[in-house]
């Protein structure tokens, strides 16, 4: 039987060999954390390599994702579908071993990590999901939701501000099944961290309400094991295990230096390392006895079989709960969901309320929430401005089994990354909320939700200068364009209550990535629509109005509050004998995904007299209006004044739209 040292050395060897083959990567962290990983994965982690998506598995997150070869080595050694050829192709095009772990590419990777600290925040979301689901579905003798979330992190994760946001929240939420193992090696890219990172990390986490286990020898398997055992003792406190490690452990000339952090060790140093570690094997060669000792297929299958047997008994005793559990964890919406949502949208169209779209958003939550127990979310201390609370909202910290609301506090970045973790865990459709201007604070986590991808819904209110007196610090200008430029992100800016309800429905149903729902502070006028127009809203752009005879000379394209402005301009132009088509385009990404035939029917190429209007940066809209068109937007910061004064001051007037159309007809 191989020793624990030999098992850990397999990780070290594979990691330094893969980085050397790629001539790129980070060998130091995998070599330094190999002993910790060996103990965690062999003695504690419950998982099944042959079914990476088994629901009750423990979640493992590599927040210090630059050390990706640690995770790839673990997945390969324990029996996941990650053969040695994939490790040989580390960081190469089309391989499953990207420079940083990607959940969509590699079996066994729970979340895409790399931007430091976000994996840690995702892990908070995983642990919160486990806690809330357990409260909802577990019954005496039937703990069908019962797993841990383990996360590796480094100095960089702790220096990033998101670690404060997420870990402070984790302590408040008492996430006792969250265990973080800190690679305390005192080295980052620029060298020894003592010149820029002197926090007392242990005291910091104790202040958050965490259990902290200090000064664990990260190269002593028994000390590591004892620490992880201790982490499970307090059910109400997440645990930080501070592991003292040596970066690049085993590399004689580079260990404990920044030289081991982010570059290949080099052939000569690797040869010396093999000698020091007692690893005589050729690159990418692992002896059969070590493979056998690492392999977790039988143990994983046994764990899943036990859980399946427990769930079968649960289904017999609690059939309704079991059916609901399976529906949720499989991401299936209720059978009557679509009919319910469509009926609500038709009802809104008939009633025609004139409300702020943020209020319409709350109305949609009231209508959809009772049908969707998987809907969970909250606001970054703006619940009464974002209007994210609805009658069925119950605080996740209340102990209520049907809890579904998170008071995130002023933590926009952490909030968004936690929501991503909730989405990735399964069983939930999460939403988060803040002012649109503060999407800047959250933006990298929004980007990650699109990249992963995660089914997260990002709610942003106070969408333009229309928020008024708070002034330019709170008035978004470039934010809509910024969010729209994120690949695989869908941004909805509805023009009334009906489009708001449709945007929520589309976001809930979209499984392939996130949606940003952007709502106004000010009231928006209801727009009249036919049944055909109502059905076309989900296509992202549609003809809202045009002359009765279908003869038009120009097209006005608008979103949000500016749709009514376009409608008023259309009526004025009609009185002057100029026929105009108005296109409402609440979601440009959804519109761009439509067949060419449909897009041509809405924006026919023959009509080059086009004007787009949106109270945001204008440059984004030029692809829709062409060289002959005009975009009426705002490319400066706003000002502090009532909304109506600001719209007039910055040129969002009927007269300006009329003049722009007349100049092009």
pLDDT band at residue 321 under the 50/70/90 scheme:
very high
Q: Under a CB-based contact definition with an 8 Å cutoff, are residues 160 and 188 in contact?
A: no
Question: What are the C-alpha distances in Å from 623 to residues 259, 544, 571?
Answer: 47, 20, 26
Q: Report the side by side order of strands in the sheet with 490-492.
A: 405-407, 375-379, 429-435, 457-461, 515-518, 490-492
Token digits of residue 80: 């996941």
Token digits of residue 383: 């619940």
Positions annotated as catalytic residues are 412
Q: Under a CB-based contact definition with an 8 Å cutoff, are residues 49 and 34 in contact?
A: no
- In the numeric block, the tokens 């991503």 are attached to 420
Q: Under a CB-based contact definition with an 8 Å cutoff, are residues 10 and 294 in contact?
A: yes
% residues pLDDT > 90 (the chain): 100
- In the numeric block, the tokens 């999460």 are attached to 430
pLDDT in tens, 267-311: 999 999 999 999 999 999 999 999 999 999 999 999 999 999 999
Question: What are the C-alpha distances in Å from 656 to residues 286, 569, 626, 642?
Answer: 73, 9, 19, 20
Alpha helices in 44-148 (DSSP H): 68-78, 84-88, 118-137
d(CA 519, CA 359): 9
Helix (H), strand (E) at residue 350: helix 337-351
pLDDT at 435: 98
3-state secondary structure (DSSP) of residue 131 = helix
At 499, give phi and psi (nearest 5°): -60, -30
d(CA 494, CA 181): 44
Q: Quick one: average pLDDT of 385-414?
A: 97
d(CA 184, CA 233): 23
pLDDT at 457: 98
d(CA 359, CA 54): 40
Q: Under a CB-based contact definition with an 8 Å cutoff, are residues 131 and 406 in contact?
A: no
pLDDT at 114: 96
Q: Under a CB-based contact definition with an 8 Å cutoff, are residues 405 and 369 in contact?
A: no
Helix (H), strand (E) at residue 601: helix 596-602
- In the numeric block, the tokens 């420079």 are attached to 99
| Mode of pairing for the β-strands spanning 542-545 and 580-584 | antiparallel
pLDDT at 436: 98
Token digits of residue 329: 């964890």
pLDDT at 377: 98
Chain center to CA of 207? 27
% residues pLDDT > 70 (the chain): 100
pLDDT at 252: 97
pLDDT band at residue 192 under the 50/70/90 scheme:
very high
Q: Is 292 exposed, middle or buried (0-12, 13-18, 19+ CB in 10 A)?
A: exposed
Q: Under a CB-based contact definition with an 8 Å cutoff, are residues 517 and 504 in contact?
A: yes
pLDDT at 296: 98
d(CA 228, CA 218): 12
Number of neighbouring beta carbons within 10 Å of residue 321 = 17
Number of neighbouring beta carbons within 10 Å of residue 606 = 5
pLDDT at 242: 98
- In the numeric block, the tokens 């990172």 are attached to 197
Token digits of residue 16: 């330094």
Q: Quick one: average pLDDT of 544-550?
A: 96
Token digits of residue 95: 């391989």
Average pLDDT over the chain reads 98
CA dihedral 118→121→123→124, nearest 10 degrees, is 180
d(CA 483, CA 549): 38
pLDDT in tens, 335-370: 999 999 999 999 999 999 999 999 999 999 999 999
């Amino acid at each position: 039987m191989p020793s624990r040292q030999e098992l850990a050395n397999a990780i070290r060897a594979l990691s330094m060999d893969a980085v050397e083959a790629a001539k790129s990567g980070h060998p130091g962290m995998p070599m330094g954390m190999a002993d910790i990983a060996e103990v965690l994965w062999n003695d504690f982690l419950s998982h099944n390599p042959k079914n990476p998506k088994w629901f009750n598995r423990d979640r493992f997150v590599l927040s210090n994702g630059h050390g990706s070869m640690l995770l790839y080595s673990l997945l390969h050694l324990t029996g996941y579908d990650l053969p040695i050829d994939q490790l040989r192709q580390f960081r190469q095009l089309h391989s499953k071993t990207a420079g940083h772990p990607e959940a969509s590419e590699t079996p066994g990777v729970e979340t895409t990590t790399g931007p430091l600290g976000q994996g840690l925040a995702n892990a908070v979301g995983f642990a919160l999901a486990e806690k809330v689901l357990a409260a909802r579905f577990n019954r005496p003798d039937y703990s069908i939701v019962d797993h841990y979330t383990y996360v590796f992190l480094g100095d960089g994760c702790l220096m990033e501000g998101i670690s404060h946001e997420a870990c402070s929240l984790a302590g408040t939420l008492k996430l006792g099944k969250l265990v973080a193992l800190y690679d305390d090696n005192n080295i980052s890219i620029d060298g020894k961290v003592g010149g820029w990172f002197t926090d007392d990390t242990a005291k910091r986490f104790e202040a958050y309400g965490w259990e902290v286990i200090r000064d664990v020898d990260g190269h002593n398997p028994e000390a590591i094991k004892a620490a992880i055992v201790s982490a499970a003792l307090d059910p109400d406190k997440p645990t930080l295990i501070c592991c003292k490690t040596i970066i690049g452990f085993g590399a004689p000339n580079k260990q404990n230096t920044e030289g081991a952090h982010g570059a290949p060790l080099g052939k000569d140093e690797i040869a010396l390392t093999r000698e020091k570690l007692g690893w005589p094997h050729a690159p990418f060669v692992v002896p059969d006895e070590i493979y056998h000792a690492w392999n977790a297929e039988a143990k994983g299958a046994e764990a899943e079989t036990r859980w399946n047997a427990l769930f079968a008994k649960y289904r017999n005793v609690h059939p309704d709960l079991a059916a609901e559990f399976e529906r949720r964890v499989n991401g299936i919406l209720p059978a009557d969901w679509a009919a319910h949502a469509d009926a609500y949208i038709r009802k809104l169209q008939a009633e025609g309320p004139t409300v702020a779209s943020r209020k319409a958003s709350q109305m949609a939550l009231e209508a959809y929430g009772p049908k969707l127990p998987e809907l969970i979310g909250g606001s970054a201390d703006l619940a009464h401005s974002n209007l994210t609370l609805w009658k069925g909202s119950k605080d996740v910290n209340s102990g209520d089994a049907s809890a579904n609301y998170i008071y995130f506090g002023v933590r926009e970045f952490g909030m968004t990354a936690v929501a991503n973790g909730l989405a990735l865990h399964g069983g939930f459709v999460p939403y988060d909320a803040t002012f649109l201007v503060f999407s800047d604070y959250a933006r990298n986590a929004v980007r990650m939700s699109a990249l992963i991808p995660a089914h997260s819904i990002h709610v942003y209110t106070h969408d333009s200068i229309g928020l008024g007196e708070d002034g330019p610090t709170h008035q978004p200008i470039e934010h809509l364009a910024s969010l729209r430029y994120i690949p695989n992100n869908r941004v909805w800016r509805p023009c009334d209550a009906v489009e708001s309800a449709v945007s929520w429905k589309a976001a809930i149903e979209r499984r392939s990535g996130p949606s940003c729902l952007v709502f106004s502070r000010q009231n928006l006028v209801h727009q009249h629509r036919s049944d055909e127009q109502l059905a076309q809203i989900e296509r992202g752009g549609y003809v809202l109005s045009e002359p009765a005879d279908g003869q038009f000379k120009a097209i006005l394209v608008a979103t949000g509050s500016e749709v009514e402005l376009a409608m008023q301009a259309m009526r004025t132009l009609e009185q002057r004998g100029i026929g105009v088509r108005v296109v409402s385009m609440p979601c440009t990404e959804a519109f761009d995904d439509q067949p060419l035939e449909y897009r041509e029917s809405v924006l026919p190429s023959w009509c080059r007299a086009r004007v787009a209007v949106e109270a945001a940066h204008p440059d984004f809209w030029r692809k829709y209006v062409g060289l002959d068109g005009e975009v009426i937007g705002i490319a400066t910061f706003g000002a502090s004044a009532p909304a109506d004064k600001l719209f007039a001051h910055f040129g969002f007037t009927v007269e300006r739209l009329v003049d722009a159309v007349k100049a092009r007809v």
